[in-house]
């Protein structure tokens, strides 16, 4: 491994994500001696990336953009936890406390969008990290990304739990006019207990909904993803109804819904979390999540209820799948009751 300059050194060379993965593999997160620890106690490690546009398969879009890796929002169900494992970091504390910042992300993206071969396909932001987690206030990489996309006339969908997105309504508007842009605010539930337990580092759900209101008022196509609905925490009919009513009251242009899925490192983390904090629920989760998704008919029952409530409160269903920045892979169904 080559030597690297200190974090925030003005020298041009930053370690790559692979360099960082190697360091962590050898010495754990403690080996990141250059990472800056900020007031939120997370460690921020600048890295340089070789590419920004990331090709994906099996999703409703072909390209993703993630200027950061890891997320201080620390949602226990986060499907991106498993990506941290792929880079030698654990899916528990390190996912939420060791954040990689791709310092040259906007420059690399700009160069990629300038290539004649780029066909201006739709891209999805925020599939593996929240582009408006607090550190974005410092680096503004997401803002730069939106501006680069507008210059490159490339349409995008963006998913976030960060009300900071309102800061960039001008850039979002510019992108919408240049190529098309949709903001998907993630608000799985407005239930206070479920929010505190499951999404410890996020803004209050109503704060997120107020951000949706502000974006819609600014002419941005913004709606809500009620995802994931977490069995036993946010899946009751009364909680679903309160959430959809609040979404409608805040003027969201659409709402989509999906039930939690658990895979690899995300599953490991979530099951450990449940066993530690809510041991009496653990057997039910083990039964419901034999596969990555709960059984087909469980999901259909939740989504059917959501559909009825959408009709009742007059909020449209989510737009076409091509705009959807959330992976929705369906596993084979098995029979388990809608017990929660």
Residues that bind ligand SF4 (CB under 6 A): 71, 73-75, 78, 80, 129-130, 161
Strand partners, 69: 100
Q: Nearest distance from residue 67's CB to ligand SF4, in Å?
A: 12
Nearer to ligand SF4, 99 or 150 (CB): 99
Nearer to ligand SF4, 150 or 224 (CB): 224
Q: Nearest distance from residue 128's CB to ligand SF4, in Å?
A: 7
Short-list 131, 149, 151, 150, CA closest to 141:
131
> Where does 156-304 show beta strands of DSSP type E?
156-160, 181-186, 221-229, 255-259
Nearer to ligand SF4, 131 or 152 (CB): 131
Q: Nearest distance from residue 186's CB to ligand SF4, in Å?
A: 6
Asked if 141 and 176 touch (Cβ cutoff 8 Å), the reply is: no
Exposure b/e, 303-340, CB count within 10 A at least 16 = b: bebbeebbeeeebeebbeeebbbbbbeeeeeeebebeb
Q: Nearest distance from residue 132's CB to ligand SF4, in Å?
A: 9
Short-list 21, 325, 295, CA closest to 156:
325
Q: Nearest distance from residue 219's CB to ligand SF4, in Å?
A: 25
* Sheet architecture: strand order including 54-55: 54-55, 63-65, 123-125, 156-160, 181-186, 221-229, 255-259
The residues near 93 (Cβ < 8 Å, ≥ 6 apart) are: none
Q: Nearest distance from residue 332's CB to ligand SF4, in Å?
A: 25
Omega of the bond leading into 228 within 30 degrees of 0 (cis):
yes
Side-chain-facing half-sphere of 196: CA atoms under 13 Å: 3
Nearer to ligand SF4, 35 or 80 (CB): 80
Q: Nearest distance from residue 42's CB to ligand SF4, in Å?
A: 12
Asked if 263 and 304 touch (Cβ cutoff 8 Å), the reply is: no
Nearer to ligand SF4, 146 or 150 (CB): 146
For residues 175 and 222, give the distance between their C-alpha atoms in angstroms, rounded to a whole number: 13
Nearer to ligand SF4, 71 or 246 (CB): 71
Q: Nearest distance from residue 311's CB to ligand SF4, in Å?
A: 28
Asked if 218 and 173 touch (Cβ cutoff 8 Å), the reply is: yes
Nearer to ligand SF4, 74 or 295 (CB): 74
Nearer to ligand SF4, 80 or 171 (CB): 80
Task: Report the SS3 class of residue 68.
Answer: strand
């Amino acid at each position: 491994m080559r030597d690297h300059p200190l974090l925030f050194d003005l020298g041009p060379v930053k370690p790559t994500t692979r360099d960082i993965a190697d360091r962590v593999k050898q010495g754990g997160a403690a080996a990141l001696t250059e990472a800056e620890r900020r007031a939120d106690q997370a460690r921020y490690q600048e890295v340089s990336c070789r590419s920004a546009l990331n090709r994906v398969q099996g999703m409703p879009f072909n390209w993703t953009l993630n200027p950061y890796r890891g997320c201080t929002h620390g949602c226990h169900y986060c499907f991106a936890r498993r990506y941290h494992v792929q880079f030698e970091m654990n899916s528990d504390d390190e996912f939420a406390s060791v954040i990689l910042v791709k310092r040259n992300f906007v420059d690399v993206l700009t160069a990629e969008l300038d290539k004649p071969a780029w066909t201006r396909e739709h891209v999805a932001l925020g599939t593996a990290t929240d582009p408006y987690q607090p550190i974005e206030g410092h680096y503004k990489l997401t803002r730069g990304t939106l501006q680069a996309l507008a210059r490159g006339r490339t349409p995008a969908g963006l998913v976030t739990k960060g009300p900071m997105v309102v800061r960039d309504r001008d850039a979002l508007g510019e992108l919408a006019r240049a190529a098309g842009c949709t903001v998907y605010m993630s608000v799985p539930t407005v239930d206070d207990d479920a929010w505190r337990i499951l999404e410890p580092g996020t803004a209050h759900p109503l704060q997120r909904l107020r951000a949706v209101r502000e974006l819609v008022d600014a002419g941005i196509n913004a709606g809500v993803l009620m995802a994931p609905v977490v069995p036993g925490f946010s899946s009751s009919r009364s909680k679903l109804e309160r959430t959809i009513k609040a979404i409608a009251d805040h003027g969201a242009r659409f709402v989509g819904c999906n039930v939690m899925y658990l895979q690899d490192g995300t599953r490991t983390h979530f099951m450990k979390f449940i066993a530690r904090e809510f041991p009496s629920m653990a057997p039910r989760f083990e039964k419901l999540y034999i596969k990555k998704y709960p059984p087909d008919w469980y999901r259909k029952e939740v989504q059917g209820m959501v559909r009825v409530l959408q009709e009742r409160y007059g909020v449209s269903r989510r737009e076409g799948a091509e705009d959807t920045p959330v992976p929705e892979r369906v596993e084979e169904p098995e029979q388990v009751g809608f017990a929660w």
